Structure 1
Amino acid sequence: MDESNTSPYTAGQAIANLQQTEHLGDRYYAAWWLGKHRVQDPAAIEGLLAALGDELDRSPDGGYPLRRNAARALGKVQDLRIVPALIACLDCDDYYVREAAAQSLEMQGDGAAIAPLSAFLTGGINVATAVPGRPHLIHPYEAIIEALGTLGATTAIPLIEPFLEHPVEKVQFAAARALYQLTADPHYGDRLVRGLQANKLPLRRSALIDLGATTYLAGAEAIAKTFAENSLKLIALKGLLENHLRQQSADSPSLTAESQQVMALMDSLL
């Protein structure tokens, strides 16, 4: 764990704050801090797992802020108990707990999450509708689909494909990202490249992030030319390059011409 010597806040204090019940704000911050610093202490993990069942910290809309932070934090540590606990969170009635659980399951990389995540897609896009009065769909489809792509869930391909036609463009991008990860079909990479030309900046940012999660090096130049912040374009190019290098054979340690092109594009943005 990387702790700052200038801060009086320690892992021990965070664990103690997480376990007390008087000051809910301190518990919320403690869960965030333990995740940020990736604290592997068994007591910290035990506290975060217990927080997934918290009933005290409630938001005005009925959600569970502490559970959300605990689910996010658990995605950043390693423990055999984490995956079943996060899978159980997928049944929570708080949308943001389900979203945090899906994102953390993606980070854990355990195939045990594929079936429960896939179950959310079985109804297709006809049931993937918005919640009246809320700024989100009934389920966190972006996070679910992205997790399935990262987890290599080839069995979910038929379930993901219809979401390319979902009315929410960010969900379309998530589907294209996952399908490229699962099939390496450039058609899906090109779909994300087209997303870089969206009229709205938030959509271009979303397409950048999704392209950066793939190995579609053919999209590198389009990333560099996107009308968006250079910092975000650098993050996308870095992700693209790192994913490509991880996929390369150990027998081919030298940089390919495509890899060198991505590095040159990164240099041009600095």
Structure 2
Amino acid sequence: MNDESQIEAGEPLTIAQALENLNGEDLGSRAYASWWLGKFRVKEPAAIIGLIAALNDEADRTPEGGYPLRRSAARALGKLEDLQAVPALIECLNCTDFYVREAVAQSLEMLGDVRCIPFLIELLAPAICDGKLLPNGEDFSQPYDAILEALGTLGATTAVSSIQPFLEHPIPRVRAAGLRAMYQLTQDAVYGDRLVQALANSDLQVRRALLSDLGAIGYLPAAVPISQAHAENSLKLIALKGLLETQIMLSPFDRLSDGAIEVMQLMDELL
């Protein structure tokens, strides 16, 4: 069970109670309050201030040295769309907790502030030497998939040379995140096509992640392969929705593009 599924078991709160609990002594109540504030998009200044402070929490520690409250606070800050959290989140990229760094990268991606780009690139640097990945096997030292996805969403063209080596990473999820980012940054179909080809992976979890990637980049040539992928129809529909949204943006003002119509027909067939 992950952090959020454990937290969701808590009792309903009011905003005032959540803010009080966030700054209280009970660790469980603090974690639940931070999740609740993000879940319900409470954008009051006191919530932002309290969640930023929670990024430095030392009280809530797991036996393995993790920081559950920091993780929850980082996730919440990404949902609240307040850029004053960006410097504190950037600083938190140095946290010793892998899952805090993962949550921070995801939240920085959501906030869309390009100030974080050099710091995300810096997290990739130790894995690269002379333009290639170091031969250290399945490297789990950083949340590479979250970092790569953030750089792609943020339009970090300066990161292309740092992302390229990860296209050969031994972990399929990391390779896919690199391909997703490279397509977003270059619009080169070769990267989209490689994501489509990877849908043949025998691992269902990998296929699910690939559907999300293809939906996120709105890659129209993936429409039919998405509809035929061996995965749940609900996930295929979500991915196709991403393609449809892209096609609608590209459509003339007075009609839908042929691509949008094609995607809608495929979605109808899955319903």
Normalising by structure 1, we get a TM-score of: 0.91
Shift in CA distance, 199/75, structure 1 to aligned 2, threshold 3 Å: same
Identity %: 57
Q: Is the 8 A contact 1:130 1:138 kept in 2?
A: no
Counterpart residue identity of residue 92, structure 1: C
Specify the code of the residue in structure 2 equivalent to 1:156.
Answer: A
Q: Are residue 89 (structure 1) and residue 92 (structure 2) matched?
A: yes
Find the counterpart in structure 1 of residue 232 from structure 2. 229
In the alignment, the residues of structure 2 paired with residue 79 and residue 167 of structure 1 have an alpha-carbon distance, to the nearest angstrom, of 36
Unaligned runs of 5+ in 2: 1-10
Do the aligned residues in 1 keep the contact of 2:98 with 2:141 (CA within 8 Å)? yes
Aligned partners of 1:83 and 1:25: how far apart in 2? 25
RMSD between superposed Cα atoms in Å: 1.6
Counting helix residues as a fraction of each chain, which structure ranks higher? 2
Q: Could you list the runs of 4 or more consecutive aligned residues of structure 1 that deviate by over 4 angstroms after TM superposition?
A: 127-131
Aligned match of 2:123 in 115, 120, 124? Answer: 120
SS at match of 1:75: helix
Residue by residue over 1:181-206, the C-alpha shift from the partner in whole angstroms, topping out at 9 and shown as x without a partner, is 11111110111111111011011111
- 8 Å Cα contact 2:138-2:171 kept in structure 1: no
Partner of 2:262: 261
Q: Separation in 2 of the partners of 1:195 and 1:170?
A: 10
CA-CA distance at 1:9 after TM superposition? 1.6
Taking the TM superposition and a 5 Å limit, the aligned residue runs for 1:1-270 are 8-21=12-25, 23-123=26-126, 124=128, 125-126=133-134, 130=138, 137-246=140-249, 248=250, 252=253, 254-270=255-271
How far is 1:72 from its partner? Answer: 0.3
Change (3 A) 1:127 1:92: farther
Measure, in 1, the Cα distance between the counterparts of 2:24 and 2:111: 28
1:80 Cα deviation (Å)? 3.2
User: Aligned with 1:27: secondary structure?
Assistant: helix
Evaluate the alpha carbon distance shift between residue 8 and residue 157 of structure 1 in structure 2; reply closer, same or farther with a 3 A threshold: closer
Q: What are structure 1's unaligned runs of at least 5 residues?
A: 1-6, 132-136
SS in 1 for 2:151: helix
CA separation in 1, counterparts of 2:156 and 2:200?
29
